[in-house]
Amino acid sequence: MSHIGSAGGQPGSQRATDRASTPSEPALAYAELVAGNRRFVGGAPRHPNQDAGHRAVVADGQHPFAVIVGCSDSRLAAEIIFDRGLGDLFVVRTAGHTAGPEVLGSVEYAVTVLGTPLVVVLGHDLCGAVQAARESVATGTAPSGHLRAVVDAVLPSLRRAEAEGVDDIDGIVDIHIAQTVETLLAQSPVLADEVARGRCAVVGMSYRLAAGAVHPVAAVPAGFATLDTPATV
């Protein structure tokens, strides 16, 4: 899989500078995401790593500090939400942030080959995939085409929400985010091993479309994520 975004090949000094400025620990990576989202919410983004010079630095190698397993919603652009740039985030998006084999393989590639220390499941309020799944259950009709695969992937989260007495859409979304975190770890022994060794963490975050802010709803290791974490890079 070495052809999927080379991890090496940059000139030595530029490559060393790029790696030195990249968070290499889960807590530092999380802190950078939190800091970037605060800048975005506050209307003071820095737009780091988006200039021509950095484009040249990362042209032949990448060292992203976070994997974003996000919903495909057009309003959920990770580099904008977290105020990051080229080479910072390894983004995998599907409707409803469903985690099929291709998603799992992409996450494993980033974590094991690129050495990315943080995986984030990024969902959002008023998620259309969750609403479609709930409508399918309510009407007893399955959607046509491949949309059915998206709905089927969300149904376990709906059943879990029902068992927990949660019926508001955003509460269900948060449960679905947590469910996706658990699915990634359960379906990928490779990722679970990286987490167990302390080399990686997995965090579920929910984005508020109007406010622009994210907040954690699940984390492995437990208690890892806190929005009080300061930026240190």
Task: For residue 127, say whether it is annotated as part of any ligand binding site.
Answer: yes
C-alpha angle 51/54/59, rounded to 5°? 120
Q: How far from 80 is each of 42, 157, 178, CA to CA, in Å? A: 13, 28, 23
Dihedral over Cα of 220, 174, 211, 137: its sign: positive
- With residue 201 as reference, give the H or E element that holds it: strand 201-207
Distance CA 169, CA 166 (A): 9
List % helix, strand, coil for the chain (3-state, nearest 5).
Answer: 45, 15, 40
| DSSP assignment of 93-111 | EEGGG---HHHHHHHHIII
Are the CB atoms for 204 and 180 separated by under 8 Å? yes
Distance CA 81, CA 42 (A): 11
Among candidate residues 139, 185, 125, 178, the one with its CA nearest the CA of residue 156: 178
Task: For residue 71, say whether it is annotated as part of any ligand binding site.
Answer: yes
Task: For residue 51, say whether it is annotated as part of any ligand binding site.
Answer: no
Ordered strands of the 89-94 beta sheet: 89-94, 66-71, 118-124, 201-207, 214-220
Residue list, annotated binding site for Zn(2+): 71, 73, 124, 127
Residue list, annotated binding site: 71, 73, 124, 127
